[in-house]
């Protein structure tokens, strides 16, 4: 077993050599946002999508665009509005008078990295159309289904302040996001560095290609080989199970959780932990990998009761208490 682990570790070191190259290139144009960059790597390695929550102006667009530049893949950003139609996102059939045929015009969803700004401002039909693209990685226009490019990752944003004119994302769509990441203000030192870097009318925000996109695909296959012991698997299941039935371990939280995480949460927590181990150059998952990613994997999957909302209890507080009380293997 030791020789197999050493061989896997050597392969991980080889296949993860692109990570510091991309990280260094991103740091040329980004200040801070370390957690967001790490979560983007996790999502890329697991074919996941990210839901971002943060006020405007925190470099969300710049981060995704910069990541696309390091791999020379296509990037699209679109602003969701209440009058948006599914065809605006996916594409439609256009009549050609020359031959009397309808021809497909593919929409902006056919890009590798997508930034969907203020996704909760779009109506249900648009959210449903995006759901198929995220989950099935394909789009149906007319009677024809088109595969989306690979890699394909959606980063959708929600503004936590202005909720007027928004459509709350249904639980089924929230569950499709691998991670929900909160983006906060920079520190004073980081903001000073931002000022020094960006306080001109022509700031340097473009990144150079440092890897081929195929290297991410190769790394994904190796992530699946990273080992998760039975003890860590049981730990993941215990976290998810307790989120559904907190009364068994945390009776004081019984009336605060309306619905716990689904089995997709179990699967995604294990996948994300594997990706985290890969980024650290390890051939195995540790309980700390699970704890580090549990907040981002579960914060949008634990639904609160009205009682919890009235008491000002957040899903983050509940997750913290779960992690404190559940025994670590």
pLDDT of residue 166: 59
Q: Per the domain annotation, does 55 fall within a domain?
A: yes
Q: Per the domain annotation, does 159 fall within a domain?
A: yes
The separation between CA 35 and the C-alpha centre of its own chain, rounded to angstroms, equals 12
> Does position 269 have pLDDT exceeding 90, yes or no?
yes
43/187 same-domain check:
yes
Q: Per the domain annotation, does 287 fall within a domain?
A: yes
Q: Per the domain annotation, does 3 fall within a domain?
A: no
Nearest to 236 by CA among 284, 283, 286: 286
pLDDT one-digit tens code per residue, 276-316: 999 999 999 999 999 999 999 999 898 888 888 888 888 88
> Does position 80 have pLDDT exceeding 80, yes or no?
yes
Cα separation of the two ends of the chain: 21
pLDDT of residue 62: 83
Largest CA distance in the chain: 71
255/150 same-domain check:
no
Q: Which of 165, 192, 218 is the last residue of a domain?
A: 218
Burial state string for 274-286 with b = 16 or more CB within 10 A and e = fewer than 16: bbbbbbeebbebb
Cα separations (Å) of 29 from 23, 43, 205, 291? 11, 21, 5, 30
Q: Look at the chain and report how many structural domains it folds into.
A: 2
119/209 same-domain check:
yes
Q: How far apart are CA 323 and CA 318, in angstroms?
A: 9
The pLDDT-based confidence of 140 (bands split at 50, 70, 90) is confident
The pLDDT-based confidence of 60 (bands split at 50, 70, 90) is confident
Q: What's phi and psi for 197, nearest 5 deg? A: -85, -35
96/189 same-domain check:
yes
pLDDT one-digit tens code per residue, 162-200: 555 556 777 777 888 999 998 888 888 888 888 887 766
Q: What's phi and psi for 19, nearest 5 deg? A: -60, -55
pLDDT of residue 164: 53
For residue 52, give its domain range.
17-218
122/32 same-domain check:
yes
Q: Per the domain annotation, does 1 fall within a domain?
A: no
209/238 same-domain check:
no
> Does position 97 have pLDDT exceeding 80, yes or no?
yes
Pairing of strands 138-141, 144-147: antiparallel
Which residues partner with 115 through β-bridges?
A: 77, 155
Q: Which of 187, 218, 249 is the last residue of a domain?
A: 218
pLDDT of residue 292: 94
Q: Per the domain annotation, does 10 fall within a domain?
A: no
Q: How far apart are CA 305 and CA 91, in angstroms?
A: 39
152/300 same-domain check:
no
43/142 same-domain check:
yes
Q: What's phi and psi for 272, nearest 5 deg? A: -65, -40
207/257 same-domain check:
no
Q: Per the domain annotation, does 7 fall within a domain?
A: no
The residues, ordered by sequence, that sit 6+ positions from 313 with a Cβ below 8 Å of its Cβ are 256, 304
Model pTM above 0.85: yes
34/177 same-domain check:
yes
139/161 same-domain check:
yes
The residues, ordered by sequence, that sit 6+ positions from 151 with a Cβ below 8 Å of its Cβ are 44, 47, 71, 73, 112, 113, 213, 216, 217
Q: Per the domain annotation, does 12 fall within a domain?
A: no
Is residue 148 a contact partner of residue 109, using CB atoms and an 8 Å limit?
A: yes
Q: What CATH number is attached to the domain comprising 314?
A: 1.10.8.80
Q: How far apart are CA 5 and CA 11, in angstroms?
A: 10
Nearest to 279 by CA among 50, 43, 25, 31: 43
305/160 same-domain check:
no
Q: What CATH number is attached to the domain comprising 212?
A: 3.40.50.300
The residues, ordered by sequence, that sit 6+ positions from 291 with a Cβ below 8 Å of its Cβ are 323, 328
């Amino acid at each position: 077993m030791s020789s197999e682990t050493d061989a896997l570790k050597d392969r991980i070191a080889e296949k993860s050599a692109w990570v510091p190259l991309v990280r260094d290139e991103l740091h040329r144009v980004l200040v801070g946002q370390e957690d967001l960059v790490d979560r983007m790597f996790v999502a890329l390695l697991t074919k996941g999508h990210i839901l971002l929550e943060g006020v405007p102006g925190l470099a969300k667009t710049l981060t995704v665009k910069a990541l696309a530049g390091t791999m020379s893949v296509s990037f699209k950003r679109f602003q969701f509005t209440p009058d948006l139609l599914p065809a605006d996102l996916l594409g439609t059939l256009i009549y050609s008078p020359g031959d009397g045929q309808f021809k497909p015009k593919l929409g902006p969803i056919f890009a590798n990295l997508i930034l969907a700004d203020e996704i909760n401002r779009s109506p249900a039909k648009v959210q449903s159309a995006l759901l198929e693209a995220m989950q099935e990685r394909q789009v149906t226009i007319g009677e024809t289904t088109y595969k989306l490019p690979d890699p394909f990752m959606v980063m959708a944003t929600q503004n936590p302040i202005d909720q007027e004119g928004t459509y709350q994302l249904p639980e089924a769509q929230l569950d499709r996001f691998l991670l929900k990441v909160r983006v906060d203000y920079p520190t004073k030192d980081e903001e000073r560095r931002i000022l020094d870097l960006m306080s001109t009318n022509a700031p340097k925000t473009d990144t150079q290609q440092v890897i081929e996109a195929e290297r991410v695909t190769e790394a994904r296959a190796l992530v699946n080989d990273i080992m998760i012991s039975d003890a860590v698997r049981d730990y993941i299941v215990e976290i998810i199970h307790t989120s559904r039935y907190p009364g068994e371990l945390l009776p004081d939280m019984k009336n605060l959780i309306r619905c716990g995480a689904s089995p997709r949460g179990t699967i995604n927590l294990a996948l994300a932990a594997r990706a985290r181990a890969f980024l650290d150059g390890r051939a195995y998952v540790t309980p700390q990998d699970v704890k580090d990613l549990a907040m981002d994997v579960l914060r949008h999957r634990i639904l609160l009761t009205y009682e919890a909302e009235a008491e000002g209890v957040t899903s983050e507080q509940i997750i913290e208490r779960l992690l404190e009380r559940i025994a670590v293997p």
